Amino acid sequence: GASFLDAPVVGSRPAAESGALAFLVGGSAEAVERARPVLAVMGSAIHHVGPTPAGAIAKLVANTLFGVQVATLAELISTARRAGVDVPRTFDAVGALPVASPALKGALASMLAERFDPMFPIALVAKDFDYAVALAGDTPERAMPLARAAQAVFHDARRRGLGDLNITGVLEAYADRTTP
Q: Which residues of 122-146 are buried (b: 16+ CB within 10 A; e: fewer)?
A: bbbbbbbbeebbebbeeeeeeebee
CA separation, residue 110 to residues 36, 70, 101, 178 (Å):
33, 11, 14, 23
- For residues 143 and 129, what is the distance between their CA atoms, to the nearest angstrom? 13
Cβ atoms of 157 and 172 closer than 8 Å: yes
Given 25, 48, 57, 59, the catalytic residue: 59
Under 8 Å CB-to-CB from 28, ≥6 apart: which residues? Answer: 3, 51
* Residue 59 bears catalytic tag: yes
Cβ atoms of 138 and 30 closer than 8 Å: no
Q: Supply the residues annotated as catalytic.
A: 59
